[in-house]
Structure 1
Amino acid sequence: MRLTTKFVAISAASALLCAAAAIWILRSGEPARATAASGEVRPVWTEIDWPFSADPWGKGKAFRCKAGDCGGEVQLYVRAKLGFCNCATGVADDGDLEQMGDLTLIGKATPLGAGREINVGPMRGRSRAYRLEGNRNAALSLAFNQRCDMVAATALVGPGAPASLEPAVLAFLNSDRMLKWAEIALGL
């Protein structure tokens, strides 16, 4: 009888240990997969080289978010344009955004709808989604200003990336890192 009791106790302890290990393994690896499967985006932005040739506005900063982090490949191009903004009204409407943005860097684009007002730190501006002609990519054009100076940001969204990446792009532009860069670039 004693041997049976020991056997049952050891079996129960082994079963509990195996169950605890299985739960730990599932919990340690599963959240990332569950997050990606649920469509929730947790972008990781990595700085890359500015891919465009020089123009009057100079080079800006370029960032990449891999497909595994954004649901599809996303490239973000950001640069300051000093003295280019209407000092009185800023980026007031979609016409201003078309004129002041950097969509020409990535090709001909057609708007997917009306733009909307945005805030980046203390700056105000606009954002608008576009479809690039000739391929399956989409783009997001953003421009925001402080007095007569502005920042133009363009997100190139590859096939498979969620169409609603604007909140993730805005969160990155509102990060301490990017607000500090804008402050230096605009001389605030």
Structure 2
Amino acid sequence: MKRVAVIAGVIGFGLGALAGASAFFAWPILGHGSAAVTPSHPKFSEAQWPFPTDEWGKGKAFRCEAADCGIEVNVYIRAKIGFCNCQTGVSDDTELDRLSDFSLMGEKLSVLGPGRQISVAWMKGRSRAYAIADPYRAPNSALSVAFNDRCDAVVATAVVDHDHPGTIEPSVIDFLNSEVIVHWAEVTLGL
């Protein structure tokens, strides 16, 4: 009888540990199952640049709160002077990948599909969606957007807390076409 009680206790303890571990690792994922919808009136506000300075310097950071975008969206934008292909610009996914700020997105990325052409003011470029895998964070995704003026590129990274970044892409592209960003690009690129 004592042996059965010990075995039952060990099994119970094991199941409890398994349930606790499952809850611990699944907790960040809870709340991300809502349907991803395109916001009707997104409102981006400037935020503090949250990353350490690297070879490209600090950029600009903007946030659209969940109340305005349906889910929180963070956009990070900066110029990469002289780093774009001067002849073809950002004309294919290979060039977009080369320009992208993957270090701002996380370590483990996977492409969600082919990129697509975009326009920001007079500049042409591409946008592409990525899934970000991190075992210690809730699943999220990102859009990488790059566009150029001659040899100078502007790179934007939009990070969202769900796995459908394409739903927010039109709002991000509209924001990049806003007077605030276009003026910043003109000043930053020395136009």
Structure 2-normalised TM-score? 0.75
**Residue number in structure 2 paired with 1:124:** 124
Q: What are structure 1's unaligned runs of at least 5 residues?
A: 1-37
Contact 1:60 1:79 in 2 (8 A): yes
> 1:158 is matched with which residue: 158, 161, 183?
161
| 1:101 CA displacement | 1.1
Contact 1:72 1:160 in 2 (8 A): no
Where does 1:9-88 land on structure 2 (aligned, <5 Å)?
40-88=39-87
RMSD (Å), alpha carbons: 1.6
| 1:103 CA displacement | 2.1
1:24-56 C-alpha deviation (Å, 9 max, x unpaired): xxxxxxxxxxxxxx8643111010110000101
Structure 1-normalised TM-score? 0.76
| 1:136 CA displacement | 1.0
Q: What are structure 2's unaligned runs of at least 5 residues?
A: 1-36
> 1:183 is matched with which residue: 169, 181, 186?
186
| 1:158 CA displacement | 1.0
The alignment of Structure 1 onto Structure 2 pairs a total of residues equal to 151
**Residue number in structure 1 paired with 2:142:** 139
| 1:60 CA displacement | 0.3
Structure 1: distance between partners of 2:163 and 2:128 = 19
Aligned structure 1 segments of 4 or more residues deviating by more than 6 angstroms: none
Structure 2: distance between partners of 1:44 and 1:86 = 33
Larger C-alpha radius of gyration, 1 or 2? 1
Question: Structure 1 vs Structure 2: percent identity of aligned residues?
Answer: 54
Of 153-162 and 129-138, deviating more is 153-162
Structure 2: distance between partners of 1:54 and 1:145 = 22
**Residue number in structure 1 paired with 2:3:** none
In the alignment, residue 186 of structure 1 is paired with which amino acid? Answer: L
